[in-house]
Structure 1
Amino acid sequence: MRITAVDTFVLSNRHALVKVSTDEGVVGWGEHTLENWVRTVTAAVERMSEHLIGADPRGITGLWQTLARGGYYRGGPVLSSAVAGLDQALWDIKGRWLGVPIHELLGGPTRDHARVYAHANAPAGTGDPQRARAHVNAGIDLLKVAPQQRIEFLDRPEHLDGLLSDLTRLRAEVGPGVDIAIDLHGRFSLPLSRRLLPRLEALGVVFAEEPVRPEHSDLLGDLVRRSPVPIATGERLYSRAEFRRVLEAGVAIVQPDVCHAGGITEGFRIATLAETYDAQLAPHCPLGPVALAASLQLAFAVPNFYAQEQSLNLHLGPSPVTRILVDPRILVPVDGRIPRLTGPGLGIEVNEDAVRAAVDDGHLAPGSPVWHYPDGGFAEW
């Protein structure tokens, strides 16, 4: 079997796909989305495809080494996301060639279903009780919220009090039987996180995500030792080496994104590394259905899986993003869990005609906002 073509499709600022074709007629799909940078990553995918044409797609580890290291300069969000999309497509081909889901090739299933969580953010403040209730009524029992405003380096006490009041209302709405996590989104400084984290314990917060920016990962050990709330991080880390730093700091949950951190190949290695530190895996995935399927293949294969992020919210009804699938129903959570995917490869069927119809060749809509403080200084979003 030989690779004959690599095609890319940009659907939006948060959705890009790659299709790898072979001379045996077996096709694999991957998602190389990097939020706000999809055209840049797509260019990297197209450059890397020069290493793939004519190669046997079944030699995934060898091809991964070439893709990840063959350009001399390596790593970072753009190149690692390009590798990730191609890696997913190669695993999809191999699973389809052998007629088994990818998790079977990673050692077989470790569970029958994967717990998912949903976001319950509000336009302002921290958490929307009504949105949270809708998720819970549809079977979700793990919610995540994030403050939706600028955070000062040493923010005023009343702002922290307001955040805690919002969380208190959210807890009252969903009751004690639902887990609540908070994503600090790298907006908090180290001293401000030190102030906040102990106050979250009384609300039963199950984990606090990204309490400092990724460039300050070496400071996480101080927070872990001080915090009664477990710490999670990893959506902006791209390799085992970067995850080792935060694991040595003592984080409880790592959150690699299979579209950013080198794909399923590197994601599996990160999960194995995390297991040696008694940490669990909650893959980052606020992206499309191909990314979710790839994340789930990892979730079904590793023993230390905690929960899967998703933003499709198919438990609330159909999503326009899933129109690219032949049958999106297999990704619908049942009682807050997605049943194990049993189809070959990624376990989903992509409708190529729908993908091509959704391609956006024009100017993409804006992605994440850029925030500034009242004095004009840059503020973390």
Structure 2
Amino acid sequence: MTAADRIDRIECFQVRPRWLFVRIETAQGAVGWGEATLEGHAEAVVGAFETVRDRLIGHDPDRIEDAWQTLHRLGFYRGGPVMLSAIAGVDQALWDIKARKLGVPLYQLLGGRVRDRIPVYAWIGGDRPADIVEAAQARRAQGFKAVKMNGVEDLAWLDSPSKIDALAQRIADVRGVGVDVGVDFHGRVHKPMARTVLRAIEPFSPLFAEEIVLSDNPALVAQLAAFSSVPLALGERLYSRWDFRPFLESGAIDIVQPDLAHAGGISECRRIAAMAETYDVAVAPHCPIGPLALAACLHLAAVTPNFVIQEMSLGIHYNGPSEDLTTLVRNPGLFDVSNGSVAIPEGPGLGVEIDEAAVREMAKTPHRWRNPAWRGPDGELREW
């Protein structure tokens, strides 16, 4: 009998524009890649990998769930974005190793696919209404049938109705292009304005209202769900099934949006998706980050009955420098969009072939990405 393989090396790479890649190598030479990107906090996640190495060097790479539980439970202080992002990168890389060793795409190890392609959407933005329409037209030309746009850039506790009227008009303009539209509010709307905003956009049938308020207050989200027929979505700032539980139990949300690089990786997000299914809640994973995280999302989407649509971005919503994709991934055509969807990766593991030399070279000058500070007209800080 061949001796069991062991994890021998765990490395992190901060690569532009704002990603954190994880590479795990075993004593027998198997290699897997994952993504532990936590935008604006890469250094904190890199620090968490000191603990990860202490726990997992020498661990059997096939015991993926045991590795997950070890990192989560033995840390004593459980949960939170930093540690669960680190766990996410490890989890993705271990699944990548196992599927590559078996020579199969990852989704085969998760029970096999329940769909043949993955519906996707992309972000649009612009300073003027005409810019938003032009961006929507460009996405449609790229093959997208759905987009996501910002709601309001700044909305005070009590603010001008004209801002809300302008938002409704922008949604109507984008719908006129012939695409469906989700609206992301980034938690910038406060309780006194939230009902007014939902009432204003309801006639235009948005796909969803994302983070209309912050997820800090589950009771408020439940109140809004009872008020409006607009599907409510959130989850990028929730990091485990325990974080999602109160929203599901109260019936507060219609779409969960776990991020596979933040919320414990493939293993935990699959549990979140299954839990959501028992409440008849859909899954639309959050992913405005890199190719490894996106590939992990596509494999999860392939096996998840209650999946609805995947956020898709390479670089920062397709608007980053060309090196974001072409210098780090050897098979960029993997994510080509056609008729509103992308193919499920069919290569072994995650199906992403990383240009390791390019990653190592770029990581010699680690990025220091920070989200910009948003301030209102009187200088007060607003949500990013």
TM over 0.5: yes
Alignment-derived partner of residue 66 in structure 1: 70
Q: Is the 8 A contact 2:124 2:147 kept in 1?
A: yes
> Aligned partners of 1:356 and 1:211: how far apart in 2?
39
Residue aligning to 2:16: 12
Contact 2:17 2:320 in 1 (8 A): no
Moved more, 9-18 or 130-139: 9-18
Q: Report the alpha carbon displacement of residue 372 of structure 1 after superposing the two structures with TM.
A: 2.6
Q: Tell me by how many angstroms 1:126 deviates.
A: 10
How do residues 24-43 of structure 1 correspond to structure 2 at under 5 angstroms? 24-43=28-47
Shift of the 202–165 alpha-carbon distance from structure 1 to 2, 3 Å rule, reads: same
Residue pair 1:124, 1:147 contacting (<8 A) in 2 also: no
- Tell me the alpha carbon deviations over residues 64-114 of structure 1, each in whole angstroms, 9 at most, x when there is no partner: 001112111121111110111111111111111111122111111111110
* Identical amino acids, percent of aligned pairs: 45
Equivalent residues, number: 377
8 Å CA contact 2:122–2:144 kept in 1: the answer is: yes
Is contact 1:116–1:310 with CA below 8 Å preserved after alignment? yes
Residue matched to 1:325: 329
Give the secondary structure class of the aligned counterpart of 2:15. strand
Q: How does 1:169-248 map to 2 (within 5 A)?
A: 169-172=173-176, 174-175=177-178, 178-248=179-249
Q: CA deviation at 1:315?
A: 8.8
Contact 1:183 1:209 in 2 (8 A): yes
Structure 1 residue 13 displacement after superposition: 6.0
C-alpha separation between the residues in 1 aligned to 2:131 and 2:257? Answer: 21
Q: For the residues of structure 1 that align with 2:116 and 2:158, how far apart are their CA atoms? A: 45
Corresponding residue number in structure 2 for 1:45: 49
Q: Distance in 2 between matches of 1:89 and 1:138?
A: 31
Mark the CA change 1:220 to 1:110 in structure 2 (over 3 Å): closer, same or farther: same
User: Which secondary structure state, in structure 1, belongs to the residue aligned with residue 66 of structure 2?
Assistant: helix
User: Residue 20 of structure 2 contacts residue 37 of structure 2 at CA under 8 Å; is this kept in 1?
Assistant: yes
Match of 2:149 in 1: 145
Q: Is this contact kept in 1: 2:17–2:324, CA < 8 A?
A: no
Contact 2:152-2:185 at 8 Å conserved across structures: no
- SS of 2:75's equivalent in the other structure is coil
Q: Name the counterpart of 2:310.
A: 308
Residues 1:22 and 2:26 are matched in the alignment = yes
Q: Deviations over 1:227-260 (max 9, x none)?
A: 1111111010001011111122321110000000
Q: Distance in 1 between matches of 2:274 and 2:84?
A: 19
> Could you say what the CA RMSD is over the residues aligned between the two structures, in angstroms?
2.0
1:369 aligns with 2:372: yes
Match for residue 252 of structure 1? 254
Whichever residue aligns with residue 308 of structure 2, its letter is: Y
The one-letter amino acid paired with 2:294 is L
Cα distance in 2, alignment partners of residues 62 and 341 from structure 1: 26
Q: C-alpha distance in 2, partners of 1:347/1:253?
A: 27
**Is the contact between residue 115 and residue 307 of structure 1 (CA under 8 Å) also seen in structure 2?**
yes
How far 1:324 sits from its partner (Å)? 0.9
Give deviations 1:250-292, integer Å, cap 9, x for gaps.
Answer: 2111000000000000000000000001011100000010110
Among 53, 59, 73, the alignment partner of 1:55 is: 59
Deviates more, 1:107-116 or 1:332-341: 332-341
Matched letter for residue 136 of structure 1: R
Any conservation in 2 of the 1:110–1:301 contact (CA below 8 Å)?
yes
Deviation per CA, 1:179-236: give whole Å up to 9, x if none. 1110111000122111111221221211111111121123211111111111111010
- Alignment correspondent of 2:271: 269
Unaligned stretches of 5+ in structure 2?
A: none
* Equivalent runs, 1:110-129 vs 2, <5 Å: 110-123=114-127, 128-129=132-133
Partner of 1:206, secondary structure, is coil
1:6·1:46 contact (CA, 8 Å) conserved in 2?
no
Amino acid aligned to 2:110: L
Distance (whole Å) between structure 1 residues aligned to residue 155 and residue 247 of structure 2: 23
Distance 1:126 1:287 in 2: 27
Name whichever of 141-150 and 345-354 sits farther off. Answer: 141-150
SS at match of 2:260: coil
* 1:300/1:345 CA distance change after superposition, 3 Å: same
- Give the Cα separation in 2 of the matches to 1:316 and 1:231: 27
* Counterpart secondary structure, 1:338: strand
The superposition leaves residues 30-71 of structure 1 with CA deviations (integer Å, 9 ceiling, x where unpaired) of 111000001111111232121111111100111100111211
1:71 is aligned with what amino acid? G
The answer for the alignment partner of 2:299 in structure 1 is 297
**Which of 112, 130, 134 is the equivalent residue of 2:134?**
130
Structure 1's unaligned 5+ residue stretches are none
> Which whole-Å CA distance do the structure 1 matches of 2:130 and 2:182 have between them?
11
Distance 1:35 1:65, change over 3 A: same
Q: Check whether the contact 2:209–2:233 (CA below 8 A) recurs between aligned residues.
A: yes
Q: Is the 8 A contact 1:13 1:365 kept in 2?
A: no
